[in-house]
Amino acid sequence: MSTSIEERLRDLGIILPEASDPAANYTNCVIAGSLLFVAGKGPSGKPKGKLGQAYSTEEGYQFARSAGIEILAVVKQALGSLDLVARVVKLQGFVNADPAFEQHHLVLNGCSDLMREVFGDSGIHSRSVMGANSLRDNLPLVIDSIFEIKP
């Protein structure tokens, strides 16, 4: 018998928060066909600052993991259960970074690793990550995502 995603979260010691509200005039997510598009989410606690200045790569990894937990909270709110996720399709990260910072990919691993831990092989996804010279509210990173949902 397979483990539910809720059980896996418990085993991992992850408690999902309430889904955070959008920061402006948009919705947290949109379902189009069998795809769920989740708006960009930053880390909990709303830290401020740039990677490579205020924060290290390791701290950025934890911020990306935290943003991933925020994403999962939105998905659960939208679907009612994370067991309705067929797979993680794509993550796209924007890292607020010093121009000399070159470890964007290692930062985004925080979210990628989380998705693999939670969804197993269905958490393996495509992704892209870009450096940004600024982000809303001076967040260190923002991640948006696409999920395939079960019929």
pLDDT by residue (tens digit) across 94-138?
999 999 999 999 999 999 999 999 999 999 999 999 999 999 999
2 phi-psi bin (left φ>0, alpha ψ -120 to 50, beta other): beta
Instruction: Please compute the mean of the pLDDT values over residues 73-78 and round it to a whole number.
Output: 98
Helix ranges restricted to H, 13-103: 57-79
Instruction: Please compute the mean of the pLDDT values over residues 41-57 and round it to a whole number.
Output: 96
Instruction: Answer for the pair 108, 95: CB distance below 8 angstroms, yes or no.
Output: yes
> Which residue in this structure is represented by tokens 């989410």?
41
3-state secondary structure of 93: strand
Tokens of 21: 């509200």
Distance of CA 2 to the CA centre of its chain: 24
Instruction: Please compute the mean of the pLDDT values over residues 29-40 and round it to a whole number.
Output: 98
pLDDT of residue 1: 44
pLDDT of residue 23: 83
Burial track 8-47 (b if 16+ CB lie within 10 A, e otherwise): bbeeeeeebeebbeeeeeeebbeeeeeebbbbbbbbeeeb
Output the average pLDDT for the chain. 96
Instruction: Answer for the pair 38, 69: CB distance below 8 angstroms, yes or no.
Output: no
Instruction: Please compute the mean of the pLDDT values over residues 64-72 and round it to a whole number.
Output: 98
Write the pLDDT tens digit of every residue in 10-33.
Answer: 999 999 999 998 989 999 999 999
Q: Output the CATH code of domain 5-149.
A: 3.30.1330.40
pLDDT of residue 97: 97
Instruction: Please compute the mean of the pLDDT values over residues 86-92 and round it to a whole number.
Output: 98
pLDDT of residue 2: 63
Burial class (CB in 10 A: 0-12, 13-18, 19+), 67: buried
* ∠ CA 127-128-130, rounded to 5°: 155
Q: How confident is the model at residue 44 (pLDDT cuts 50, 70, 90)?
A: very high
Q: How confident is the model at residue 3 (pLDDT cuts 50, 70, 90)?
A: confident
- Percent of the chain at pLDDT > 90 equals 94
pTM over 0.75: yes
